[in-house]
């Protein structure tokens, strides 16, 4: 018989990936473009640089708690591994790509900056896609 703790974990497993997805969609398609549209480049870049660590940490925590919740129920299925994959990509972006992007932008190394930035954008879209798939699986579960 399921306990109240099991129901809490199942609620986390259901809500947190969708919350992360919503955050990513809002940040990617609304917040960041709006910042660059209405703020001068000299103000937009430092502002976005301050937001990205918060974005990565917030989403990492949501997905990590999801992964730990699934693991505590000992359910190692596609939803678990998809969340683990998304979490790993957040860590790569936060600890490797973001510092490398900032460093190359500061050095005015446009070519390397563009490659790294394109990589982070591609990873972001992969994560959004994976979270959409996870959401679909959760509705079907």
**In the chain, where the domains are located:** 4-140
Average pLDDT, consecutive stretches of 10 residues, N- to C-terminus, the chain (141 residues): 90 97 98 97 96 98 98 96 98 98 95 97 98 94 69
Sheet strands (E) in 69-111: none
**pLDDT confidence of residue 140:** 81
The predicted model scores a pTM of 0.94
pLDDT of residue 64: 98
How confident is the model at residue 2, as a pLDDT? 80
DSSP character string of 45-87: HHHHHHHHHHHHHHHHHHHHHHHHHHHHTT--SHHHHHHHHHH
Q: Which residue has the tokens 């959409």?
A: 132
Cα three-residue angle 55-56-59, rounded to 5 degrees = 85
Instruction: Specify the pLDDT at position 9.
Output: 95
- Confidence (pLDDT) at 77: 95
């Amino acid at each position: 018989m399921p306990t109240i703790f099991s129901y809490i974990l199942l609620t986390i497993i259901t809500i947190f990936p969708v919350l992360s997805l919503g955050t990513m969609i809002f940040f990617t398609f609304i917040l960041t473009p709006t910042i660059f549209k209405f703020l001068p480049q000299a103000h937009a870049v430092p502002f976005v640089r301050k937001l990205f660590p918060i974005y990565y940490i917030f989403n990492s925590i949501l997905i990590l708690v999801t992964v730990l919740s699934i693991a505590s129920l000992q359910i190692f299925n596609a939803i678990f591994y998809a969340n683990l994959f998304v979490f790993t990509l957040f860590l790569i972006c936060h600890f490797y790509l973001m510092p490398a992007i900032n460093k190359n932008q500061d050095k005015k190394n446009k070519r390397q900056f563009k490659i790294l930035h394109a990589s982070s954008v591609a990873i972001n879209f992969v994560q959004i896609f994976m979270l959409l798939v996870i959401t679909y699986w959760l509705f079907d579960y």
